[in-house]
Amino acid sequence: MATRIDIDAADDPRLADYRDLRDVQLRESLEAEHGLFLAEGEKVVRRAVEGGFAPRSFLMAPRWLDGLADVLDRSDVPVYVVSEALAEEVTGFHVHRGALASLHRTPLPGLDEVLEGARSVLVLEDVIDHTNVGAIFRSGAALDFDAVLLSPRCADPLYRRSVKV
């Protein structure tokens, strides 16, 4: 079960994963350096955890605890409970979807493994806008594509703006 920790100071070092989410360059280097990504909103957090991504921690206002109680019950990580004003101060934006989770990235599979058995493959070459990457992934899921290949310069599909599209 997740451990509830109430926090009332924006500079608390335990909130480092959630700090300054609007700064794209800072987030990209921080997330890659620490092997993490962030999920925003009850549905996205739930799907990420149920999809096998291990949480590092959760951040939410008290009113969002009940909606994710089942996910928190299955997690053995801290859940940082903050006021909505403090969440906005820490993240740099209004957290209107209520909950954030910091999750561990999983190692990427090799090309052969990705393509094995795939009949339809999305290929993204140098798509640098996170929102566009998210929209393409969403369309690919709707059209039942089997695999996605990204060129090295593509925007990160696990970046918060990509995931929330």
User: Does the structure show a pLDDT above 90 at 165?
Assistant: no
Q: Which of 89, 104, 119 is the last residue of a domain?
A: 104
User: Does the structure show a pLDDT above 60 at 27?
Assistant: no
Residues 17, 33 within the same domain: yes
Residue 62 phi, psi dihedral angles, 5° rounding: -55, -35
- The count of domains in the chain is 2
Per-residue model confidence (pLDDT) at position 59: 95
Residues 23, 98 within the same domain: yes
Mean pLDDT of 144-156: 91
Looking at residue 15, which CATH number applies to its domain?
3.30.1330.30
User: Does the structure show a pLDDT above 80 at 23?
Assistant: no
Residue-wise DSSP of the chain = -PEEEE---TT-GGGGGGTTTT-HHHHHHHHHHHTEEEEESHHHHHHHHHTTPPEEEEEE-GGGTGGGHHHHHT--SEEEE--HHHHHHHHSS--TT-EEEEEEPPPPPPHHHHHTT-SSEEEE-S---HHHHHHHHHHHHHTT-SEEEE-TTSPPTTSHHHHT-
Task: Provide the pLDDT confidence category of residue 96 given band limits of 50, 70 and 90.
Answer: low
Higher pLDDT residue, 162 or 123? Answer: 123
Q: Which of 85, 104, 123 is the last residue of a domain?
A: 104
Residues 64, 118 within the same domain: no
Task: Provide the pLDDT confidence category of residue 14 given band limits of 50, 70 and 90.
Answer: very high
Residues 100, 115 within the same domain: no
Residues 61, 142 within the same domain: no
pLDDT per residue as tens digits for the range 31-74: 666 788 888 889 889 999 999 999 999 999 999 999 999 999 99
Domain that includes residue 139, residue range:
111-163
Residues 96, 116 within the same domain: no
Mean pLDDT of 106-110: 86
Residues 73, 140 within the same domain: no
Q: Do 122 and 114 meet the contact criterion of CB atoms below 8 Å apart?
A: no
Per-residue model confidence (pLDDT) at position 20: 72
Q: How far apart are CA 51 and CA 53, in angstroms?
A: 6
Per-residue model confidence (pLDDT) at position 122: 93
**Residue 81 CB: number of other CB atoms within 10 A?**
19
